[in-house]
């Protein structure tokens, strides 16, 4: 965690103008947002008028009584860490202002790191256009209650964070943390992007902090990578860091990578060749799924190895483009023209990916804003998931 209070206050100060005039969210000026969930703690933020006193109340499942937690507050901007919680547990919470309840919601703590877990996460991308469809899809995802959300990038198509991010996802952000990937459009608004999120800073040495980071959730590990880089940086600096992070104990059963530019795509853009330099490492590390955006559509490959469809029983990586989150849609070829690698896709509906994680495998659904399932597939466990990830042979040697 970046964690420094000054950084947080700076973030809120930058957003203050954007948040002014934010529609009433239960009597708050902004939020609440669940910024992160850990096995034993949760961090939330919200905003009130500067002269109001606000605090959080959390009700433990076994208790009728609510416990009060006082935030760090500056000029109506509040950030509260709730500690000593139980893992994988749903808590009711309320935001009070001057003793009056202004918002009631729920959050769920993360499972213990490395422990087998059943949970769901959502993936969406290329959303930041403040469109009606973006908001509808955000509301749909909120109704599905994922424990965390991964954004494949292009969160911001403008610096109006209120319009393109905070408002469309208000219900979602009040219950689940959203972990962003840096898209090419986010680079244009990177100061706003950085101030919107409070991200880990232990990325590859020598590269800007928080552009590459890892999140653990139970026995799943998510590596969020900055694909706005050339092949040498991706392959050697980010790749070596990725290898190290994926090998850190407790070794995860499920290994996911999220980056903006797709290594394989049959949509509006060409496959991103610099990202393809990471493909051998994804395979040797036992990564099961790689999520991208950039193309504004949905695409899903067969399990792949070495640029081809994996053989029966051969571990492979499933590549998903989930970039139909709200920006103008990009078409994909008619199904009759799909190559063998492409096994699912849609370029006509706004949609997001919903993944249910269980010890016996992953169940993946692509869901549109009406809740209609566009595509469904399973990812079974394979040998790569039950052994230590490799990768040294893929990333070793001098560049």
* Contacting residues toward Fe ion, per CB under 5 A: 154, 183-184, 294
Closer CB to Fe ion, 152 or 385, in the complex: 152
Closer CB to Fe ion, 11 or 164, in the complex: 164
Please, which residues bridge with residue 303 across strands?
A: none
Closest CA to 94 of 64, 74, 75, 67: 67
> Can you tell me the distance from the alpha carbon of 2 to that of 257, in angstroms, rounded to the nearest whole number?
21
Closer CB to Fe ion, 184 or 201, in the complex: 184
Closer CB to Fe ion, 210 or 227, in the complex: 227
Rounded to 5°, the CA angle 99-100-104 comes to 120
Please report how close the Cβ of residue 184 comes to Fe ion at its closest, in angstroms.
4
Please report how close the Cβ of residue 323 comes to Fe ion at its closest, in angstroms.
8
> Can you tell me the distance from the alpha carbon of 214 to that of 285, in angstroms, rounded to the nearest whole number?
15
Please report how close the Cβ of residue 187 comes to Fe ion at its closest, in angstroms.
10
Query: For residue 271, what are its two tokens?
Result: 């496959």
Query: For residue 320, what are its two tokens?
Result: 């998903």
Question: Residue with the closest Cβ to Fe ion?
Answer: 294
Please report how close the Cβ of residue 162 comes to Fe ion at its closest, in angstroms.
21
Please report how close the Cβ of residue 333 comes to Fe ion at its closest, in angstroms.
20
Please report how close the Cβ of residue 295 comes to Fe ion at its closest, in angstroms.
8
Please report how close the Cβ of residue 264 comes to Fe ion at its closest, in angstroms.
16
> Can you tell me the distance from the alpha carbon of 187 to that of 154, in angstroms, rounded to the nearest whole number?
9
Closer CB to Fe ion, 255 or 294, in the complex: 294
Q: Is 137 in a helix, a strand, or coil?
A: helix
- Bridge-based pairing of strands 220-225 and 254-259 is parallel
- Bridge-based pairing of strands 373-379 and 178-180 is unpaired
Closer CB to Fe ion, 188 or 341, in the complex: 188
Please report how close the Cβ of residue 319 comes to Fe ion at its closest, in angstroms.
16
> Can you tell me the distance from the alpha carbon of 71 to that of 15, in angstroms, rounded to the nearest whole number?
18
Closer CB to Fe ion, 154 or 368, in the complex: 154
- Bridge-based pairing of strands 361-368 and 213-217 is unpaired
> Can you tell me the distance from the alpha carbon of 166 to that of 331, in angstroms, rounded to the nearest whole number?
28
Closer CB to Fe ion, 36 or 294, in the complex: 294
> Can you tell me the distance from the alpha carbon of 107 to that of 146, in angstroms, rounded to the nearest whole number?
10
243 in Cβ contact with 391 (< 8 Å): yes
Closer CB to Fe ion, 76 or 153, in the complex: 153
Closer CB to Fe ion, 94 or 187, in the complex: 187
- Bridge-based pairing of strands 72-74 and 66-69 is unpaired
One-character DSSP codes across 9-68: HHHHHHHHHHHTTPPPSSS-SEEEEEEEE-SS-EEEEEE--TT--EEEEEE-TT-SSEEE
> Can you tell me the distance from the alpha carbon of 357 to that of 362, in angstroms, rounded to the nearest whole number?
5
Please report how close the Cβ of residue 18 comes to Fe ion at its closest, in angstroms.
22
Please report how close the Cβ of residue 127 comes to Fe ion at its closest, in angstroms.
11
User: How many other CB atoms are found less than 10 A from the CB of residue 72?
Assistant: 13
Rounded to 10 degrees, the C-alpha dihedral 13/18/23/29 comes to 0
Look-up of token digits 């955006």: 293
> Which stretches of the chain are DSSP H helices?
5-19, 132-144, 161, 170-173, 184-188, 190-196, 231-232, 239-246, 273-276, 279-284, 392-395
Please report how close the Cβ of residue 260 comes to Fe ion at its closest, in angstroms.
6
Closer CB to Fe ion, 175 or 272, in the complex: 272
């Amino acid at each position: 965690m970046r964690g420094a209070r000054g950084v947080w206050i700076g973030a809120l100060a930058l957003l203050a103008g954007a948040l002014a005039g934010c529609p009433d969210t239960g009597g708050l000026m902004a939020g609440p947002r669940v910024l992160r969930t850990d096995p034993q703690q949760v961090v939330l933020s919200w905003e009130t008028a500067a002269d109001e006193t606000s605090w959080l109340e959390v009700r433990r499942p076994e208790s009728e009584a609510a416990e009060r937690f006082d935030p760090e507050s500056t000029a109506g901007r509040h950030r509260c860490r709730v500690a000593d919680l139980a893992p994988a547990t749903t808590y009711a919470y309320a935001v009070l202002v001057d003793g009056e309840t202004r918002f009631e919601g729920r959050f769920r703590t993360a499972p213990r790191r490395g422990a087998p877990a059943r949970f769901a996460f959502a993936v969406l991308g290329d959303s930041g256009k403040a469109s009606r469809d973006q908001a509808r899809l955000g509301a749909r995802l909120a109704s599905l209650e994922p424990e965390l959300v991964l954004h494949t990038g292009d969160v911001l198509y403008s610096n109006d964070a209120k319009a393109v991010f905070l408002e469309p996802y208000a219900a979602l952000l009040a219950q689940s943390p959203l972990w962003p990937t840096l898209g090419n459009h986010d680079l244009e608004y990177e100061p706003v992007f950085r101030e919107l999120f409070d991200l880990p800073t232990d990325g590859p040495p020598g590269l800007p902090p928080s552009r590459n980071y890892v999140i653990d959730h139970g026995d799943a590990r998510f590596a969020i990578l900055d694909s706005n880089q050339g092949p040498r940086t991706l392959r050697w600096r980010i790749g070596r860091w990725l290898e190290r992070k994926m090998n850190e104990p407790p070794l995860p059963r499920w290994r996911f990578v999220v980056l903006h530019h797709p290594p394989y795509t049959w949509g509006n853009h060409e496959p991103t060749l610099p990202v393809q330099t990471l493909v051998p490492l994804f395979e040797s590390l036992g990564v099961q799924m790689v999520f991208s955006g950039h193309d504004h559509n949905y695409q899903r490959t067969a399990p792949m190895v070495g640029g081809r469809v994996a053989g029966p029983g051969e571990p492979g990586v499933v590549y998903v483009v989930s970039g139909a989150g709200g920006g103008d849609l990009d078409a994909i070829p008619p199904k009759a023209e799909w190559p063998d690698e492409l096994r699912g896709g849609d370029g006509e509906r706004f949609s997001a990916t919903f993944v249910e994680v269980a010890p016996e495998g992953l169940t993946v659904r692509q869901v549109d804003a009406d809740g209609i399932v566009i595509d469904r597939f399973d990812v079974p466990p394979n040998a790569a998931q039950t052994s230590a990830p490799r990768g040294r042979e893929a990333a070793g040697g001098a560049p």
